Structure 1
Amino acid sequence: MNQEKITELEKTICRDYSNTAGIVVLKNGRTEYENYFNGCTSNCRIHVYSVTKSILSILIGIALDRGYIKSIHQKVLDFFPEYTVTNTMDSIRNITLENLLTMTAPYKYKFAPYLKYFTSDDWVKFSLEQLGGKGQIGKFRYAPLIGPDLLSGILAKTSGCSVFAFASEHLFSPLGITVEKNIIFHSKEEQMAFNSATDISGWVSDEAGNNAAGWGLTLSPADMAKIGQLYLNGGMWEGREIVSKSWIDESTKEHSRWKKQDLPYGYLWWLCDENANTFAAMGDGGNTIYVNKEKNLVVSIAALFTPKAKDRIGLIKEYIEPVFDTGSL
């Protein structure tokens, strides 16, 4: 390994990406680099924020593979027959599971009612009440928190168990990932402490037992790298299919686009080039799972939250990939 390049990389990380907690680089399935920053170690667990969305995408794929969900073209209301629509003109009737996965579902709110959301005891019900309105189905509208929890509700209803239990059995355990417990906040202070903690292993849920779909999961950089390698392997892990290759291929190609940012989007995965060779799960603070199929490379970055953190895709493409590209060593 070219130690001079590694030293320069680490100087860049400490100077320009100073909230980094840990980085793991896998090349051809082998760990080529693993390092930790800001007092973190391999035992730390970091809140990965919206990387959680991509984990939900995997779980939805597994549920489809196993027949719990019939099709992503099912209407959202099919899963919630108890919900009554009072406005006959409301677009909610035609919103599908695919719209949730591609961020093309409309919502009634103009400004997200975060306080009401966080103090609600049932995030799925709260999100359902915000779904629809006069917005256009099929138009990209990124919903950071209020909306994705509908996926948790759908997965729990169809599988007959909590998202945490489903993920533990069908994803985390096979990959050797430990997520210890459900986490329920009883105060704003508890939530703020969780966001900055490095020693809590779990997945946030509301009081009704719904795991947050858009945030709330803690993982280590090594855990995140395993998720990336699973996708690079086409869904296979130690000779066992965890999720189908067809789902991976579909979920990591463009289905919608955030035009304002010119960012293509799959099924809760971001695409990093026009040829679908690279894709990423990305969360606040710079948390990232990056997969480059062409270079057989996975980069995972766990980061402590800081507002307006620098984009890690730039760090990966400009500084990390050149170091671990076989031809540059």
Structure 2
Amino acid sequence: MKEAKELEAVIRRDYDNMAGIVVRKDGKLLYEQYFHGCTDSSRIHVYSVTKSIVSILIGIAIDKGYIRNVQQKVLEFFPDYTVKRRETTIQHITLEHLLTMTAPYKYRSAPYTNFFSSDDWVKAALDLLGGKGQIGQFRYAPLIGPDIMTGILVKATGQSVLDFAAENLFTPLGIAAPPNVVFDSKEEQLAFNRAKCVNGWVADPKGVNTAGWGLTLSPMEMAKIGQLCLNGGTWQGKQIVSPKWIETSTKEHSRWEEQGLPYGYLWWVDEDGYAAMGDGGNVIFIHTKKKMVAAITSFFKPKVKDRIEFIKAYISAAE
């Protein structure tokens, strides 16, 4: 990678909303730096990076037998849910369709106001699932839809998502589990998104944690998660999630044709590895060919420069 001073000059010039960066190579810390007053303990809202963490949790739940497999129908987990009259598509949607973003939804423009003002985000998402769209066609659902997966985790494990994650992922990695964050107003939600240092995992009024966004992490914590995946699901000799799940979830299952982006099970797949990516430039990039993990937290800013290109150009190119 480039010399630290040169790298940091590039960051300040072209990636000025970056809050922190951690790079691990061959299992060891290669580089660590923070900006804008952040430190190694500063947690940032990492937006859609949350999805990839949920993918790991789904894999752990399958490993432990709480979920049979990804071919289970979504409605199997919600036997009390009443399907709306004339709605048949939803009955054929599987967990795998949710994981690969190939489930159809009934809306064209996401009804965020109605969704977030409801007291049960999982049910609100189920009400929007299905419709006349084609099952198997890629449709990226950033916020509305993924919460069905955390709803599934709650139904399957009998635990809150946060408790399940703390027991089976965070604590084994030495990550302090964040507290639940429940919003009482739109203003509180906006303040959470704008915060420069915040700790928590957003949950709906019923206590079900979000799946598509809402988790806060530090770059070091993200790097640990990336290293876990690079190690085939092991951390310090302990198997946290099966290597089979890591291999399966991080290979291409669907593709966003318009963007030319292959997708796994809530991971973006790259020719050199795979990545968790969130708005503003939050990313965990696992460079499998070079045994490298790069984790970056960033404050939200629209239309930022591509972090994967940055990592490849300035960090992994010289390794």
Normalising by structure 2, what TM-score?
A: 0.98
Deviations 1:30-59 (A, max 9, x none): 111000011111111100000000000000
After TM superposition, the structure 1 = structure 2 runs for residues 42-61 of structure 1, keeping only pairs within 5 Å, are 42-61=40-59
1:303 Cα shift? Answer: 0.4
Deviations 1:229-264 (A, max 9, x none): 000000001111000000000000000000010000
Instruction: Look up the match of 1:299.
Output: 294
| Equivalent position amino acid for 2:99 in 1 | L
**Is the contact between residue 179 and residue 218 of structure 1 (CA under 8 Å) also seen in structure 2?**
no
- Provide the C-alpha distance between the structure 2 equivalents of 1:179 and 1:229, rounded to a whole number of angstroms: 18
Instruction: Look up the match of 2:15.
Output: 17
1:188 Cα shift? Answer: 1.7
1:196 Cα shift? Answer: 2.2
**Is the contact between residue 179 and residue 201 of structure 1 (CA under 8 Å) also seen in structure 2?**
no
- Provide the C-alpha distance between the structure 2 equivalents of 1:309 and 1:215, rounded to a whole number of angstroms: 18
Structure 2 residue matching 1:282: 3-state secondary structure: strand
| Equivalent position amino acid for 2:305 in 1 | K
Q: Report how many residues are paired.
A: 319
- Provide the C-alpha distance between the structure 2 equivalents of 1:118 and 1:87, rounded to a whole number of angstroms: 24
Describe the shift of the 1:220–1:68 C-alpha distance in structure 2 as closer, same or farther (beyond 3 A): same
1:147 Cα shift? Answer: 0.2
Describe the shift of the 1:183–1:89 C-alpha distance in structure 2 as closer, same or farther (beyond 3 A): closer
| Equivalent position amino acid for 1:10 in 2 | E
2:37 alignment partner, one of 33, 36, 39: 39
- Provide the C-alpha distance between the structure 2 equivalents of 1:144 and 1:71, rounded to a whole number of angstroms: 23
| Equivalent position amino acid for 2:266 in 1 | L
Instruction: Look up the match of 2:111.
Output: 113
**Is the contact between residue 24 and residue 300 of structure 1 (CA under 8 Å) also seen in structure 2?**
yes
State yes or no: 1:191 paired with 2:186.
Answer: no
Instruction: Look up the match of 1:247.
Output: 245
Instruction: Look up the match of 1:174.
Output: 172
Instruction: Look up the match of 1:70.
Output: 68
2:201 alignment partner, one of 200, 203, 218: 203
CA RMSD of superposed structures (Å): 1.1
**Is the contact between residue 90 and residue 134 of structure 1 (CA under 8 Å) also seen in structure 2?**
no
1:178 Cα shift? Answer: 1.3
- Provide the C-alpha distance between the structure 1 equivalents of 2:186 and 2:122, rounded to a whole number of angstroms: 20
State yes or no: 1:286 paired with 2:281.
Answer: yes
1:88 Cα shift? Answer: 3.7
Identical-pair percentage: 62
1:89 Cα shift? Answer: 5.0
Normalising by structure 1, what TM-score?
A: 0.95
Structure 2 residue matching 1:134: 3-state secondary structure: coil
